[in-house]
Amino acid sequence: MRVLLVDDEEELVSTLGERLVLRDIEAEWFTSGSAALQRVESGCFDLAILDMKMPKIGGLELREELLAKCPDMKFIFLTGYGSEKDFTSAMAHGNSAVYLVKPVDIELLLDKMQTLLNTSRGDV
């Protein structure tokens, strides 16, 4: 599983990345959307975990640009602003996206990642 992490909080994104790596997940992390887009030029990821609010390019906008390059990519959005109930807006994007509020329980995150990837494979 190749996972792309983008969050403008360096401390958060790097720690979360490391935690995923510790679980043998190929994770790469960036603190801006532009850096992430640059990285995607050289190869797609299965899943992206994006912060909703970032300077310059926000999570939803970044998703559009990433999808343009990697149409199969799945998305998990993180935000410190709102609650799971605001998921309705993310649901507009079908089953390809999940919305989680910080702080996220790692087990819940792994579970959502797994569910998303299984859905893409037609397991659900």
Site for other proteins, rule CB under 8 A = 9, 11-12, 15-16, 18-19, 22-23, 78, 80-83, 85-86, 101-106
Q: Return the amino acid letter for 70.
A: C
Cβ at position 22, least distance to other proteins in Å: 5
Cβ at position 11, least distance to other proteins in Å: 5
Cβ at position 63, least distance to other proteins in Å: 17
Sheet holding 26-30, edge to edge: 26-30, 2-6, 47-51, 74-79, 97-101
Residue 104 per-residue DSSP state: P
- Of 3 and 40, nearer to other proteins (C-beta) is 3
Instruction: Give the separation between CA 12 and CA 9, rounded to whole angstroms.
Output: 5
